[in-house]
Amino acid sequence: MTKSKPIGIGAGIVILGMILVYAYTQTGGIEVNDSMSDSELASAAIDWNYYDLLKNIDELEGKVIHFTGTINVASKKGVFGINVGESSIKEDVIFVEYDKEEFVKRNIVEGFGYVKGIRNIERTNSVGGADILEQVPNIQAIKVSCTNC
């Protein structure tokens, strides 16, 4: 029984090490945090466009992006939706999770964040379930600032 404890501890250390190496390599070897300057965050950010982000969301998860847009959905729960571009059909929307500051509709924001995955935009149907209207990129913000506040 005493041999299993060192093996379990060793396995835990190996797993923790793998997680740290993965997080480190996701940002190109740069440890990213909200105390970094915008130029430092910009050097860690990848180039992206909306359609490549949607199409390759799994491969881009954990990568840092720079975003700029107008808030179209504001929430007091630390999540807001922004228009990041326009297509010929409708505006391109991403949802940003950020609980350090509140913004209102029509604020223009700029920031950096990690690609977190997909967020479903849903509505409640007549039988009490949810219908998915659209799937949009979900970003965990590192730093956000308002440019017109």
Tell me which DSSP letter residue 129 carries.
-
- Would you say the pTM of this structure is higher than 0.85? no
Q: Hey, is 98 helix, strand or coil?
A: coil
Q: Is 19 helix (H, G, I), strand (E, B) or coil?
A: helix
Q: Which CATH number fits domain 32-146: 3.30.43, 2.40.10, 2.50.20, 2.40.50?
A: 2.40.50
97-109 burial string, b = 16+ CB within 10 Å, else e? bbeeeebeeebbb
Give the three-state DSSP class for 90.
coil
Tell me 45's DSSP state: P
Domain residue ranges in the chain: 32-146
Q: Give the pairing of strands 108-124 and 130-146.
A: antiparallel
Q: How many CB atoms lie within 10 A of CB 61?
A: 15
pLDDT, averaged in runs of 10, over the chain (149 residues): 57 51 49 84 94 94 95 86 74 91 92 94 82 90 93
pLDDT score for 23: 46
With beta carbons less than 8 A apart as the criterion, state whether 74 and 105 touch.
yes
Given the DSSP bridges, would you call strands 91-97 and 130-146 parallel, antiparallel or unpaired? parallel
Confidence (pLDDT) at 32: 78
Q: What is the pLDDT, as a whole number, of residue 116? A: 96
